[in-house]
Structure 1
Amino acid sequence: MIPLLILGLLKEKPGSYGYELLTIMNERNYKFVVNYTKGSFYYNIQQLEEKGLIQRIAEISKTESREKNKYTLTDLGITEFYRLMTKYGTKTDYINLSFYSAMLFEEEFDKDKMRELILVQIKQTEKKISLIEGALANRSTLMKSFVRMLENSLSHHKVNVNWFYELLKEMDEEV
């Protein structure tokens, strides 16, 4: 999905520097939608360029005497952008939490250790809630559609944390 982000941003802001695109992704909190790192971002820039989907426009900085690279979409890149939009726009994923796999064997696991796992899930989920709420505090700087996605994600995380607390309560009642 990183290629879609890069192609979409270049469609939105042609002639952007790589670090400019990465900054936009970070400012817009795209990490809540796609898992990426600085390394994976630049790897994907390189791959898109090698495939002829983006074109590098090198310019020499007068103050730093080094080459800086701006990027634009090629016609092939625009076609790929639309293909990826259709691919991801029509895909329905199941929400798979690794924790669900562990829950399948809850009865076979030590109750105290299971409690610890649930507490870890609560802590991690509450941290995610806090991060999303922080991002939503700056909603005026976010695209309307992204605000809706964050609000939806926030709702899901709140449902999960409530479920985790219910699991703990059920465990306490069994004792």
Structure 2
Amino acid sequence: MNILDTLIWLINFPAAHGYAMVFIAGFSILGLFAMSASGSAPGVSIRRVREREGLLHGEAATRGQAVGTARRIVFRILAFVMLANLVIGIVSLTGVPITRAYIHEHGQPTTGTVDGDWVTFTTSSGVEYTIESNFFTPAVYPDRDAYLPSGEPVVIRYLPGHPQAFVIDSSRGPR
């Protein structure tokens, strides 16, 4: 499996669901950054009182600090991942083909059909996929605004290792 294909596949999810990703990331990012603050771990204020009064022994204090530090690191990583998803979603909503150009260039062509917001195609291994092509971030490349009649055959390009990453090729008709 190609590492770059896997990276494009991972980035394609927030790019293909831009509208939902903007709302999910927008509302969760503040909470994730708040949880990554030093005083946000449960029991921090009582631990500080116990340390000040000398009621907390050295080993328990170190263990509590290690768990708090690990928790803050995890929440910071999650916050930055959501921030990246927010940026990818916004850029995708504006029409920039973040992953579509790569998938179009390196994807394997097949014939499929479009039925409303759903695309159905069969891979070379014989597996049939029915995947959403969102109205706000359609999986169409190079002409994002191309008219695609429902039920008519279209050319689909998908990454062989990750068929969920696909584009509808608007430059050519079916073969």
Fold match, TM over 0.5?
Answer: no
Q: Which has the higher helix share?
A: 1
Q: Which has the higher strand share?
A: 2
TM (norm. structure 1) is 0.31
Q: Which has the higher contact order (CA 8 A, sep 6+)?
A: 2
